[in-house]
Amino acid sequence: MNKKFFLFIVMTAIFAAIVSSCGKDGEDGKDGNDGKPGSVVTIGANGNWFIDGKDSGISAQGAVVTIGDNGNWFINGKDTGKSAVGAQGDKGDKGDTGSSVNIGANGNWFIDGVDTGVKAAGSVVTIGANGNWFINGVDTGVKAQCEHNNTGGSSSFDGTTIVAKVEYGNDYNKRFQWVETFIYDAFDYSDDSERLVIDLGPYSNGGFTVTLPTAIDDKHLFELDAHFDFDDMQVSSLNVKYTKIYEIKGCSYNNLSKGWFLYGKLHIEYLGQHYPRATYCEFWYVDKDVTITGDNGYEKWDVSLKKGWNMVYLTETYETKAAEYTTKVVEGMKWYWGDDFGA
């Protein structure tokens, strides 16, 4: 196989992968000759190139993507270590309506069926400052990423009521009809049959509200120090029982839910690294006041819990496996459907 034909096959694979999340449905075409499937390359919510679901740490905006002599993807001249030819991945979910980009029979790039007049082979494809696809430095006028219907907005928690406005939340108004909030009714919470639903509420207008019970029966609580290693920590009371929300699950009559909603934050200073740093908010219930402070080298605690429901912020740095727990407010937190967090 000559290099031009190989490049033609691979560039077809990458653009098919990229636009699969934004392309509009068309009529089935005739089966083509079998080619070598390439890696799946997408643009994440943080604006970086993702290869096979992994953040490259490189912004897609203004980046130049090529294939090196070793057959790997190179971004701005840097070897990603990912082969441009790999195993065939599973078919992804159908994306929002957007522009369709492909290579025509004449070897040119086509956008929404219109010939750009630019040969695909040997082209340099980039994303300009305006977010459009550029081919050989020429603006195609087509956005590189899908436009989300971004709800965002104000979220709150007053001790018993969670009001959540979800990022891109209006995208899910038709997908979900209600949310289910539950804790586990056993110490070993690997069995879904042991879960205890504590609230059901509608999903609408890009968000939801959860009303938590003001008290949890003692039979549904567990010893706090049985769940955590408090060696080298200062704990005001070891006779504390607790539970927490394990999931706020999106539900529908068509059983489309495959995940949950979370309140979190990706730390921007770590987005360029292979192992990011992220904060998640957990909702804990305790049967009495307790403070936990200390640092044992792999966990750091600065937590002051009041009887009832509390927001506990867990920050994890994946490279070091370090975890930090605090009840001090972490700024920049947002509600997400799980698939959108860091995608």
Query: What's the pLDDT score for residue 169?
Result: 92
H-helix or E-strand spanning residue 308: strand 308-317
Q: Phi-psi region for residue 71, left (φ > 0), alpha (ψ -120 to 50) or beta? A: left
Please tell me the predicted confidence (pLDDT) of residue 310: 96
Residues of the chain with pLDDT under 70: 1-48, 50, 59-72, 74, 83-104, 107, 110-112, 120-132, 143-153, 186-194, 255-258, 268-275, 342-343
Distance between CA atoms of 100 and 27, rounded to whole angstroms? 12
Residue 9's pLDDT is: 42
Pairwise CA distance, residues 180 & 198, whole Å: 8
The pTM of this model reads 0.56
**pLDDT, position 46:** 67
Asked whether 23 and 99 are in contact (CB, 8 A), the reply is yes
Whole-number pLDDT of residue 84: 56
User: Count of alpha carbons within 13 Å of 99, Cβ hemisphere only?
Assistant: 19
Q: Which sequence spans correspond to the domains of the chain? A: 3-143, 156-340
